[in-house]
Amino acid sequence: MHRYDAGTEEIAQLCFDYSIARLRMDPVPLDGPLTLAELEARAGKTITREGRPPEDVMALFAEVLAPACVSNDSPKMLAFIPGAPTKASQLFDVVVSASAIYGGSWMEGSGAVYAENQALRWVADLAGLPDAAGGCFVSGGSAGNLSALVAARETAARRRSDRPARWRVAIGDQAHSSLENTIRILDALPLVVPTGDDDRLDGADLRAALDADPDPTSVFAVVGTGGTTNSGQIDDLEGIASIARERGLWFHVDGAYGLAALAAPSVHDRFRGVEHADSLVVDPHKWLFAPYDCAALLYRDPELARLAHTQHAAYLDAIEVRDEWNPSDYAYHLTRRARGLPFWFSLAVHGTDAYTAAIERTLGIAQDAARRIDASPHLELVRNPELTVVLWRRPGWSTDQYTTWSRQLLVDQRAFAMPTTWRGETVARAVFLNPECPPEIVDDVIASMQ
Ligand SMILES: Cc1ncc(COP(=O)(O)O)c(C=O)c1O
C-alpha cells in the first residue's frame, strides 16, 4: 500500500486518466443527485475486507458516484454559490495531495506557507489592509467567520474589565447563516439590525440600533457583509467601520462570496471601508477560481488572533519558540492541508490581471443576464444586480410552481437554479461565477419559465 509498485502504477494511470478526461470535458455535464435507494441499487456495498480491483472501483466512481454529484464548475450551475476553479488550480490540487505537506506550521511547511502568504498578501493589498496584516487559509467562509469572531471576543475579554453576562455581535438581517451559527457556538447573542429593501446594512441603521439598545456595551463586534448571499448586495462598509471605530467594536467583513470583486476596478469602490476591517474572509473556492476548500482569513493585527488561537502543549512548545509564521495560530485548527497552494499556483501562473479580467467578465455576464430577464415579457427583474446574484420573479407563480420549475430544470439538465425568499416573496435566483457561462444558458432558463 505504501510502495510505488506495479499496482500503484496502475492506480496512477487510472487516476490521472480520469482526472485529465474530467478536466478536458467541455461542456462539463451538470449531473445531479440520486436517491439513497438508487445509489444502494447501483453502487451497493463498496468496501470489502479483501479489497477490489482498482479499475472496478474507479469505474464505479466514474459511472455511478461522480454523476450523482452536481458539477459545481458547470456553467449551468447557478444555484447556491457555485465554483469555477481554473484548470491550473485543479491540477495543482493533485500536486498538493501528492506532496503530503503539513500546512500548520513554518517548521514543517515553510515553503508552502511562504507561497500561501503571498497569495494572502495579494488579497490584503486589494482590501487595503496594512503591511502587518496576515492570516491563513481555512476550509470556508464559515470557519473564517468563526475564527475571526473568536479572536474578536478574546480581544474584548482581555481589554475590558466589565464583562457582560452574554457577549453580543451586531449583524445585518441579511448576514450569512454561518454568522448566526458562530454567535451561537460562542454562546453569544446576535443583535440583528434590520435592512431596508436594498438588503444593505448601513451605518445609520447600525447606529440607531445601538443607540436604542438597552445594553450596547455587551456588543463586542459588528459584521459587515461584502456581497450578501441571497441577493449579492454590499453593506455600507464605510459607515459600519466608522461606528465600529467610534465605539471600540471589532469590525469583521464577511466577504466569502463578494470580496473577490475587489480585484475588479469597475466595482472596487463599492467596498469602500473594507480597509478598516479588523478581520475579513473571502473564499477563493467561490469567485477566486480555486477548488474546494479554500477561504482566505486575514487580520489587521494578527497578534490578536495568535493570542486567541495558539494551542499550547508540551509537544508544541518547540514550534512556538522559533517559527516565522504558523498558520495554526490564526484560526481554530492545528493540522491543516496547505489548501491555499492551488490558488497560489494559479495566481502565479496566470498573473493577477487574468483574475481581474475573469471577475470583470463574470460581472458583465450577470448584467447581461439581468438585461435579458428584464426584457422578457413574462418575467420581472427584482433589481439590477450589484454583483453577480440575479433575482427575478415570474408574476403569478406560487412557491410550489417555483419549486417544480427548479427541480425540472435540473432533471432536464438545462440548468440548476433555485428559488429563494426575498422580502417574504418567493423569487427565482441565479448566481453567476463562471466566466465561461454563455448567454444561451440564461436564455434557456428564461424560456423554461414561459
Ligand atoms: C457571505 C457568505 N458568508 C459565508 C459563507 C459560508 O462559506 P462556506 O460555505 O465556505 O463555509 C457563504 C457561503 O455561501 C457566504 O456567501
Measuring from atom 2 of ligand 1, which residue has the nearest CA? Answer: 256
CB 141 within 8 A of CB 281: yes
Which atom of ligand 1 is nearest to 145's Cα?
Answer: 4
d(CA 31, CA 67): 5
What integer pLDDT is reported at residue 141 of this predicted model?
98
Place of cell 457583509: 225
pLDDT means per 10 residues, the chain with 450 residues, are: 97 98 97 98 98 98 98 97 97 98 96 98 98 98 98 96 94 98 98 96 97 97 98 98 98 98 98 98 98 98 97 83 86 98 98 98 98 98 98 98 98 98 97 97 98
d(CA 301, CA 77): 38
Ligand 1 mean position, distance from CA 230 (Å): 11
Question: CA nearest 437: which of 365, 367, 358, 385?
Answer: 365
d(CA 273, CA 276): 6
Which atom of ligand 1 is nearest to 139's Cα?
Answer: 10
d(CA 136, CA 132): 13
Measuring from atom 16 of ligand 1, which residue has the nearest CA? Answer: 229
* C-beta 123 within 6 A of ligand 1: no
For a mutational test of ligand 1's pocket, the pick from 72, 78, 142, i.e. the residue with the most ligand atoms closer than 8 A to its C-beta, is 142
* C-beta 140 within 6 A of ligand 1: yes
All domains of the chain in start order, with CATH: 6-30+33-69 (no CATH), 94-350 (3.40.640.10), 352-448 (3.90.1150.170)
Which atom of ligand 1 is nearest to 227's Cα?
Answer: 1
pTM value? 0.98
CB 202 within 8 A of CB 232: no
Which residues, in sequence order, are bridge partners of residue 422?
Answer: 425
Question: CA nearest 115: which of 146, 91, 92?
Answer: 92
The three grid cell numbers given for residue 279, joined into one nine-digit string: 478581520
Ligand 1 mean position, distance from CA 108 (Å): 30
What integer pLDDT is reported at residue 321 of this predicted model?
60
What integer pLDDT is reported at residue 406 of this predicted model?
98
Ligand 1 mean position, distance from CA 63 (Å): 31
* C-beta 93 within 6 A of ligand 1: no
d(CA 355, CA 62): 31
Residue positions counted in the chain: 450
d(CA 60, CA 52): 11
What integer pLDDT is reported at residue 318 of this predicted model?
75
AA letter at 179: L
The three grid cell numbers given for residue 346, joined into one nine-digit string: 494559479
Each residue of 391-423: pLDDT tens digit? Answer: 999 999 999 999 999 999 999 999 999 999 999
* C-beta 257 within 6 A of ligand 1: yes
* C-beta 141 within 6 A of ligand 1: yes
* C-beta 142 within 6 A of ligand 1: yes
Tell me the CA end-to-end span of the chain in Å, nearest whole number. Answer: 56
Ligand 1 mean position, distance from CA 178 (Å): 7
Within its chain, how far is the Cα of 211 from the centroid? 33
What integer pLDDT is reported at residue 10 of this predicted model?
97
The three grid cell numbers given for residue 79, joined into one nine-digit string: 444555484
CB 285 within 8 A of CB 139: no
Q: What are phi and psi of 117, to 5 degrees?
A: -65, -30
Within its chain, how far is the Cα of 278 from the centroid? 19
AA letter at 420: T
CB 437 within 8 A of CB 71: no
Ligand 1 mean position, distance from CA 338 (Å): 20
**Helix/strand/coil (H/E/C) assignment for every residue in the chain:** CCCCCHHHHHHHHHHHHHHHHHHHCCCCCCCCCCCHHHHHHHHCCCCCCCCCCHHHHHHHHHHHHHHHCCCCCCCCECCCCCCCCCHHHHHHHHHHHHHCCCCCCHHHHHHHHHHHHHHHHHHHHHHCCCCCCEEEEECCHHHHHHHHHHHHHHHHHHHCCCCCCCCEEEEECCCCHHHHHHHHHCCCEEEEECCCCCCCCCHHHHHHHHHHCCCHHHEEEEEEEECCCCCCCECCHHHHHHHHHHHCCEEEEECCCHHHHHHCCCCHHHHCCHHHCCEEEECHHHHCCCCCCCEEEEECCHHHHHHHHCCCCCCCHHHHHHCCCCHHHHCCCCCCCCCCHHHHHHHHHHCHHHHHHHHHHHHHHHHHHHHHHHCCCCCEECCCCCCCEEEEECCCCCHHHHHHHHHHHHHCCCCECEEEEECCEEEEEEECCCCCCCHHHHHHHHHHCC
d(CA 361, CA 106): 37
d(CA 434, CA 25): 15
For a mutational test of ligand 1's pocket, the pick from 178, 182, 292, i.e. the residue with the most ligand atoms closer than 8 A to its C-beta, is 178
* C-beta 256 within 6 A of ligand 1: yes
